[in-house]
Amino acid sequence: MDEKIVITVKNMELTDRIKEYVEKKTPRLERLLPVIESMKFDLSYAKNARNRSDREIAQITITGKGFVLRTEERDVDLLAAIDKAADKMQRQIERFKGKRTRGRGDGTPASEVIPLPVENEPDRKTAIVRRKTFTLVPMDENEAIEQMALLDHEDFFIFYNVNTNSINVLYQRRDGNYGLIEPKIG
């Protein structure tokens, strides 16, 4: 298997059949977008899903220089969930390739983004149940709106704004327009 392709499983066993099935799906995605740096398949079984047809979960994350594409699909059958996720990823890649031709921001590399220090917060009654880390990609506000749509994020999107040289949060308002939060250290 290609070293840039990673398969992780949760609450299930990675069988040869599943591994071979995933490997059959990757060449099509690589042909569509040859600049892929890594492709991650997160496969899991949700024991406590409300709907039985949503128990098998396939999430695909593709990263490259200056972009991240992610999709998730659920089904009663894992192979069907992988198929749905791969088809959805193919559509995202096609949309991304069409939007990519318009150009990028000022070309500031992500390595120049300086993370802000996180202050320790006092203990609360509710616990953090999931933590995610991701690379902030420098982009302007229009590119952030496009990325938010490509990733199917409906609530918010965090990005490094090349116009203000700061981290911003883009969110969709109830009226369908967008709002932008520009944090300021006080």
Q: In this structure, what token pair is assigned to residue 163?
A: 């116009």
Residue 135 DSSP label = P
d(CA 15, CA 156): 36
Indicate the range of 101-105, 126-130, 148-152, 179-183 predicted with least confidence: 101-105
pLDDT at 115 over 60: no
d(CA 39, CA 1): 12
Yes or no: say if 9 and 40 are a contact pair by the CB < 8 Å rule: no
Stretch 63-84: mean pLDDT: 91
Report the SS3 class of residue 125: coil
Cβ contacts of residue 107 below 8 Å, gap of 6+?
A: 138
List residues bridging with 61 in a β-sheet: 40, 70
Q: pLDDT tens digits for 117-126? A: 555 555 546 7
Distance separating the N- and C-terminal Cα atoms of the chain: 50
The per-residue pLDDT of the chain, averaged, comes to 82
- What structural domains does the chain harbor? 5-100 (3.30.160.100), 110-181 (3.30.505.50)
Question: What pLDDT was estimated at residue 111?
Answer: 47
Question: What pLDDT was estimated at residue 139?
Answer: 92
pLDDT at 181 over 70: yes
* Confidence label for 113 from pLDDT (cuts 50, 70 and 90): very low
Stretch 9-20: mean pLDDT: 92
d(CA 160, CA 167): 4
* Confidence label for 21 from pLDDT (cuts 50, 70 and 90): very high
Question: What pLDDT was estimated at residue 117?
Answer: 52
